[in-house]
Amino acid sequence: MTEHTLTVAGVAVDTRHWIGGRRVASAETFTDVSPIDGSVIGEISRGTALEAAAAVAAAKAAFPAWAATSRAERARILHAVADGVEKRIEELSIVETTDNGALLRSHRRGVMPRVAHNFRFFADWLLKLEHEDFETRGHTNHVSWDPAGPSVLITPWNAPLMLATWKVAPALAAGNTVVLKPAEWSPLTASLLADIAAEAGLPAGVLNVVQGYGSEIGDALTSHPDVRRISFTGSVPTARRIAESAAGNLTPLSLELGGKSPLLVFADADLDLAVDLAVEQYDNAGQVCLAATRFLVEESVAEEFTRRFVEKAATLAQGDPRHETTDIGPNIHPRQLEKIDAFVQRALAAGARAVIGGHRKDTQYYAPTLLTDVAQDSEIVQEEVFGPVLTLQTFSTEEEAVRLANDTRFGLAATLATADAERAERVTAQLVAGTVWVNCFFVRDLQAPFGGSRHSGVGREGGTWSFDFYCDVKNTVTAPNGWKNHG
């Protein structure tokens, strides 16, 4: 081991940046802390504008050769990256659980296999990416996807590696080079990804990882004139700053910005199913952008729904996310816990009632909370909390349900519980959301479009939509019979 290597649950993790195919240390560091118990994991290289510029320069230098690499070869390397992820699922899982507090069993069974799938899916989609040629007055139109250039990808802390590779995989498949900036609260698996990619044969400079605070290196990345694409997942205020920074170069943006999604429960719904869907919103300690945090329940079944929900929620085990029986782990950081509690205490002071929870359990964990007696225009209904805090309101008509569901500035997702297929069709047609689930939740396919409306984001990713973003889509029009005979 070296001074730049941490041992996390027996796994060696390099704390330096990965730039141009080599490890680069910064003069200063920042402290990485485990949300499980507040213990210090170690010191991580703290990037500056200098490292940001070096990473973009490396990506720019590597771009021509990577863009010229055949589709088949790019796909082969991405599959090799997926192979590397699969060989290290246990290591990646324990490191990420230590770093961000999400359930170890979820990482092992779902999250890390999905990381490998991200690479395999976009590698395979690349090989079948095409648009049928079409004719215009005898002229042939041919659509192609040209690599755009160096791409800056800024990723969040709630599902660090899965959400990073949701961006990295299509960007690399498209022929772009990448500068990945992971969240400072959960940087470790991005460093491991750099190792895995290098071992898989990804050329130097094609993937670069720069760690540090967004406030210190963000503008250097997003305002750089050599950056051709920026993809960001995070908060609305940060997205505004990124958009302002990118505006000078008219750099295209993809933004996924969270939400305040509703769960609509109609009286004809299977209440056991509806309650299961509702309790599922505590997943990852409520730190899920797609979570349906606003329950809208038809008046005639609201009391029974609430009773069953309270009973079901009481069976959830909260504690150490490394334990197989744990259902809810810690929140990511004491600062986030303070933010969550401040939301709840302001809501209680304004007249809300805590059916369950409404308080911290300690410095790392927040009690699963359900608030009622909340006004539609209240902060707790309108603003994203990003913690295990849910609200419940009632409605009497379908029209009222739709009105309440759409009455926020967000529009990322919505979930609907009903036994009436015609109602489902009517309501989903009116909901403002990028994804709507009917009698289910969190069923996602990478070939489907993903993104949000209103303040929940800009653009769609997934399948061909990802390539549309990461590429310059070109149409070539060829006249008929315009060739000279060189035979």
Span 410-463, pLDDT tens digits: 999 999 999 999 999 999 999 999 999 999 999 999 999 999 999 999 999 999
163: left (phi over 0), alpha (psi -120 to 50) or beta: alpha
**Distance (Å, whole) CA 228 – CA 52:** 15
Model pLDDT, residue 482: 73
pLDDT average, residue stretch 307-330:
97
Model pLDDT, residue 308: 98
Reported confidence tier of residue 362, pLDDT bands at 50, 70, 90: confident
| Active-site entry in 256, 298, 384, 461 | 256
Asked if pLDDT for residue 471 goes beyond 60, the answer is yes
Q: Compute how many other C-beta atoms are within 10 angstroms of the C-beta atom of residue 324.
A: 8
Asked if pLDDT for residue 45 goes beyond 70, the answer is yes
Q: Where in the chain is the domain with CATH 3.40.309.10?
A: 262-438
Asked if pLDDT for residue 478 goes beyond 80, the answer is yes
Model pLDDT, residue 487: 52
Asked if pLDDT for residue 255 goes beyond 80, the answer is yes
Judge whether 23 and 45 are in contact, CB under 8 Å: no
Query: Percent of the chain having pLDDT more than 90?
Result: 97
Q: Where in the chain is the domain with CATH 3.40.605.10?
A: 5-257+452-475
Fold of 5-257+452-475: Aldehyde Dehydrogenase; Chain A, domain 1 (3.40.605)
Reported confidence tier of residue 57, pLDDT bands at 50, 70, 90: very high
Judge whether 92 and 192 are in contact, CB under 8 Å: yes
C-alpha to C-alpha distances, 301 to 372, 374, 400, nearest whole angstrom: 15, 18, 16
Question: Looking at the domain that runs over 262-438, which CATH code has it been given?
Answer: 3.40.309.10
pLDDT average, residue stretch 46-56:
97
**Two tokens at 180?**
């990945």
Judge whether 113 and 89 are in contact, CB under 8 Å: yes
Judge whether 372 and 392 are in contact, CB under 8 Å: yes
* CB-count burial class (<10 Å; 0-12, 13-18, 19+) for 406: middle
Residue 289 designated active-site: yes
Model pLDDT, residue 337: 94
pLDDT average, residue stretch 469-477:
97
Reported confidence tier of residue 484, pLDDT bands at 50, 70, 90: confident
Model pLDDT, residue 270: 97
| Active-site entry in 96, 289, 461, 471 | 289
Model pLDDT, residue 363: 81
Specify which residues 356 forms β-bridges with. Answer: 370
335-354 burial: b if 16+ Cβ within 10 Å, else e: ebbeebbebbeebbeeebeb
Chain segment 332-350, per-residue pLDDT in tens: 999 999 999 999 999 999 9
Model pLDDT, residue 3: 84
Model pLDDT, residue 375: 97
Residue appearing with tokens 């997205």: 239
DSSP-derived pairing of the beta strands 139-147 and 134-136: antiparallel
- Closest CA relative to residue 390, chosen from 305, 452, 451, 453: 305
C-alpha to C-alpha distances, 179 to 23, 116, 176, 218, nearest whole angstrom: 14, 19, 10, 11
Asked if pLDDT for residue 285 goes beyond 90, the answer is yes
Q: What is the mean pLDDT of the chain?
A: 96
pTM: 0.96
C-alpha to C-alpha distances, 287 to 153, 159, 317, 362, 414, nearest whole angstrom: 20, 9, 17, 18, 16
**Two tokens at 293?**
């945090």
Asked if pLDDT for residue 81 goes beyond 90, the answer is yes
Asked if pLDDT for residue 10 goes beyond 70, the answer is yes
Model pLDDT, residue 160: 96
pLDDT average, residue stretch 16-24:
98
Reported confidence tier of residue 1, pLDDT bands at 50, 70, 90: low
